[in-house]
Amino acid sequence: DIQMTQSPSTLSASIGDRVTITCRASQSISSWLAWYQQKPGRAPKLLIYKASRLESGIPSRFSGSGSGTEFTLTISSLQPDDFATYYCQQYNSYEYTFGQGTKLEIK
Amino acid sequence: QVQLVESGGGVVQPGRSLRLSCAASGFSFSSYGMHWVRQAPGKGLEWVAVISNDAHSEYYADSVKGRFTISRDNSKKTVDLQMNSLRTEDTAVYYCTKDLLRDFWSGASDYWGQGTLVTVSS
């Protein structure tokens, strides 16, 4: 199975900050990577697919990049609604594994 | 709009069975693969199973292979997860999700249900 490792596990930031979350795959997954946002008690929401494609309705301050084994999710200017937990997921091969999550907290 | 509504969760003893169901609406159900993804309390996400749009193919996580079965009824727009030989480590919120890709599946999920909690405990 492909292991997905996110860093950091927790990130403290302020409104307006630019933040980056990294996701590393244990082997190449080409660009088959998705990013999700989850708030407490809610289902995850798809933000980015195929590493860099923005899902419809997602604000343009979210962006994704990378290919192969290293990927990043960037939020260009943090808004109050962005404080949540973020997960990456590889869908290159079974099993479709997720990273352990990055909790984005208010500083 | 797309809606996925799970049902069937509850408390069950180890070794027993439970069947989850997901009712879909707002999209062409028979054109999309469907997944189940679970989340243990306070933990991350774990993909469980996928079924193709035509129900001809299905794949499972190793942790549930041989115990869980995914199925779908395109006439009723439902997808089910039959869970047998349940273990305490199967305790989780189970989400039904719609695949991003039409007529096949990608593995990414663009719509999620609200989830149903399964608790396996004696």
Model confidence pLDDT, tens digit, residues B7-53: 999 999 999 999 999 999 999 999 999 999 999 999 999 999 999 99
C-alpha pair distances (Å), B44 with each of A43, A59, B10, B15: 12, 24, 20, 24
C-alpha pair distances (Å), B54 with each of A41, B30, B57, B88, B100: 32, 7, 8, 32, 16
pLDDT at B104: 82
Q: Do B47 and A98 touch (CB under 8 A)?
A: yes
Asked if A89 has any chain B CB less than 8 Å from its own CB, the reply is yes
Asked if A83 has any chain B CB less than 8 Å from its own CB, the reply is no
By the 10 Å C-beta count (0-12 exposed, 13-18 middle, 19+ buried), B114 is classed as middle
Residues of chain B found within 8 Å of residue A21, distances taken between Cβ atoms: none
3-state secondary structure of A80: helix
The yes-or-no verdict on residue A107 having pLDDT over 90 is no
Model confidence pLDDT, tens digit, residues A4-23: 999 999 999 999 999 999 99
Average model confidence (pLDDT) across chain A: 97
Share of chain B above pLDDT 70, in %: 100
**Residue where the block lists tokens 């997860």:** B81
Nearest CA in chain A to B49: A95
pLDDT band at A94 (very low <50, low <70, confident <90, very high): confident
